[in-house]
C-alpha cells in the first residue's frame, strides 16, 4: 500500500511538472513480440505534434519496462508490435497502479497482437472490458477531425479499423487501436512508401490522441 501511494505521488509529480508533463515512453514487454517495431514511428509523430499542436515532447523517446518504477516518470506510454504479449504478476500490478494513478497507455496493434493482448488485459483489468469508441468520441475531433472515427492506414484482413478503450471513472486510461496500423503510417516515408495523404492522416490521428491526453 505504501509503495502504491509513493508511485501514485511520483506520477502526480511528473504530470504536474512543466518539464515532464508532456513526455512519452515506449513500453517494453515480454512474450517474444517485437515491442521495438516501427523505430522511426514515434519520433516522427512527436516531431509532427511539436510542430502542429505546440507540444514540447522529447523527440527521442525513452524505453521503459512494464515492471519498472520508471513508467511513473511518463504520463503517456506507447506500445506496439506483432504477436505475443506477456505481463507477469509484478508487471500487471505495476501497470494497473500506473493507469489508475493518472497514466495513459496507447496500444497500436501492428498486426497479430489481438488474442495475446486481450488475454493480458483480462489480467490487468479483470473487472472491465474493452469498449469501442464511437466516431463521436472527442479523441476524433481534436485539432484534426475524423468524422468516421479511426482511419484505415494499412490493410491486413479486410476488417474495419476500431478504437477500443478502458475507462476509470470516466477517464480513458487505455486506448487500443486495431486494424488501423497507425504506427506504420508514422514511419519514415521510405519504409512503407505510403501516399502522402495516408501518412498525413496517420500523423493527424496520432496527434489527436496526444492532444486528447495532454490537453483534454
**Per-residue confidence (pLDDT) for residue 116, from 0 to 100:** 96
Is pTM beyond 0.75 here?
A: yes
The CATH code that applies to domain 2-215 is 3.40.50.12140
What's the CA gap between 19 and 10, in Å, rounded? Answer: 14
**Per-residue confidence (pLDDT) for residue 157, from 0 to 100:** 79
**Per-residue confidence (pLDDT) for residue 8, from 0 to 100:** 54
**Per-residue confidence (pLDDT) for residue 22, from 0 to 100:** 85
User: pLDDT truncated to tens, each residue of the chain (216 aa)?
Assistant: 545 554 455 455 545 555 456 899 999 999 999 999 999 999 999 999 999 999 999 999 999 999 999 999 999 999 999 989 999 999 999 999 999 999 999 999 998 899 999 999 999 999 999 999 999 999 999 999 999 999 999 887 788 999 999 999 999 999 999 999 999 999 999 998 889 999 999 999 999 999 999 986
| Closest residue by Cα to residue 178 from 156, 193, 194, 145 | 156
**Per-residue confidence (pLDDT) for residue 10, from 0 to 100:** 46
What's the CA gap between 60 and 161, in Å, rounded? Answer: 28
Going by the DSSP 8-state scheme, the letter that residue 103 receives in this structure is -
Three-state DSSP class for residue 104: strand
Q: Report the 10 Å Cβ neighbour count for 49.
A: 24
The contacts of residue 180 (CB under 8 Å, 6+ apart) are 108, 109, 150, 151, 152, 153, 154, 161, 162, 163, 205
Amino acid at each position: 500500500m505504501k509503495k502504491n501511494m509513493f508511485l501514485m505521488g511520483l506520477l502526480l509529480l511528473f504530470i504536474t511538472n512543466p518539464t515532464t508533463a508532456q513526455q512519452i515512453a515506449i513500453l517494453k514487454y515480454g512474450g517474444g513480440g517485437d515491442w521495438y517495431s516501427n523505430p522511426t514511428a514515434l519520433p516522427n509523430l512527436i516531431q509532427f505534434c511539436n510542430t502542429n499542436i505546440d507540444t514540447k515532447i522529447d523527440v527521442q523517446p525513452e524505453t521503459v519496462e512494464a515492471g519498472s518504477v520508471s513508467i511513473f516518470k511518463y504520463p503517456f506510454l506507447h506500445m506496439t508490435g506483432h504477436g505475443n504479449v506477456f505481463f507477469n504478476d509484478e508487471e500487471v500490478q505495476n501497470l494497473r497502479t500506473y493507469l489508475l494513478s493518472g497514466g495513459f497507455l496507447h496500444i497500436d496493434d501492428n498486426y497479430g497482437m489481438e488474442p495475446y493482448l486481450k488475454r493480458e488485459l483480462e489480467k490487468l483489468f479483470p473487472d472491465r472490458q474493452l469498449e469501442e469508441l464511437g466516431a463521436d468520441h472527442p479523441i476524433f475531433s481534436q485539432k484534426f477531425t475524423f468524422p468516421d472515427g479511426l482511419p484505415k492506414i494499412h490493410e491486413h484482413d479486410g476488417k474495419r479499423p476500431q478504437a477500443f478503450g478502458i475507462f476509470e471513472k470516466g477517464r480513458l486510461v487505455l486506448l487500443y487501436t486495431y486494424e488501423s496500423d497507425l504506427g506504420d503510417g508514422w514511419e519514415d516515408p521510405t519504409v512503407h512508401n505510403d501516399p502522402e495523404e495516408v501518412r498525413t492522416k496517420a500523423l493527424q490521428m496520432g496527434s489527436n490522441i496526444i492532444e486528447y491526453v495532454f490537453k483534454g
